[in-house]
Amino acid sequence: MKHWIDADWPAAQNVHAITTLRSGGVSTNHFASLNVADHVHDEAENVRDNRKVITQMLNLPAEPVWLQQVHSNRVIQLTHNTAGPQADASFTHQPGIVCAIVTADCLPILLSSKDGGIIAALHAGWRGLLNGIISRTVKALGKQHLIAWLGPAIGANCFEVGTEVKDQFVSKSAMFNAAFTQNNQHHYLADIYQIARLELEALGITGVYGGGFCTVTDHQRFYSYRRDGETGRMATLIWRD
């Protein structure tokens, strides 16, 4: 049984990209079983063991570079000496470095140049999207022909937000109107996948893949903070040869 999803996108042969599922690890209770996050009150030893499981089962070239994610728009370039930076996106030109983010409803986004020379991983919750995590990462990558993959996140039918969230996006750009459906007088259903697609396309990235998941409704495969409260996190990883 596979405990991960392979990114379904036309990346170069030297690029590898996956999202882990919640199965296959050693954590118990709310965190069962392949939780990789060390900030969710899981046993530290279990998190360390789960990270080792992932490194081994995927035959990774190195331990992933785990970010301290804070819903910011900070992007960091990784080298072989980078360890534990506070950021919500990372990128690298170098082979053998594993960019990693952890999520349980927020949107994981992977980027790659068509030639596989540069890769990136983004943690894109609504705050990060609003604050420009995508545009800042694309700018950091420079003038590249990029493609994107959208990993498992909360689905459009489950993500209810207040009017204030919708208004902030529409104030940023009227194009985001298309990503919100009114649910009642004061709440909207937000399509986080559509928000990302709109932003990516506005930045000239038309090769956008993935996005057909819902972490909330797929209890068997995915962790979901909105569904369960205290829970684990999946890892979305990208590396190149």
Look at residues 241, 18, 8 and name the one whose alpha carbon lies nearest to residue 147: 8
Instruction: Answer for the pair 147, 109: CB distance below 8 angstroms, yes or no.
Output: no
37, 58, 70, 129, 169 from 114: Cα distances, Å: 31, 23, 29, 23, 30
Q: Considering the chain, what percentage of its residues have pLDDT values greater than 90?
A: 95
Give Rg (Cα) of the chain. Answer: 17
Average pLDDT over residues 138-156: 96
> How much is the pTM?
0.98
State the chain's mean pLDDT as an integer.
Answer: 97
Give 111's pLDDT tier (boundaries 50, 70, 90): very high
35, 47, 88, 131 from 137: Cα distances, Å: 26, 28, 10, 12
Residue 142 has a pLDDT of 93
Residue 37 has a pLDDT of 98
Average pLDDT over residues 196-206: 97
Average pLDDT over residues 79-83: 83
| Residue with token string 């927020």 | 106
Q: Cα–Cα distance between 193 and 58 in angstroms, integer?
A: 27
Helices and strands in the chain, H and E counts: 6, 14
Give buried/exposed letters for 37-47 (b at 16+ CB in 10 A, else e).
bbebebeeebb
31, 60, 99 from 56: Cα distances, Å: 20, 7, 16
Query: What tokens appear for 106 in the block?
Result: 């927020």
Instruction: Answer for the pair 100, 62: CB distance below 8 angstroms, yes or no.
Output: no
Domains of the chain: 4-154+201-240 (3.60.140.10)
| Res. 84: pLDDT tops 80 | no
Residue 198 has a pLDDT of 98
Give 115's pLDDT tier (boundaries 50, 70, 90): very high
Residue 18 has a pLDDT of 98
Residue 143 has a pLDDT of 83
At 231-241, the pLDDT tens digits run 999 999 999 99
Instruction: Answer for the pair 189, 157: CB distance below 8 angstroms, yes or no.
Output: yes
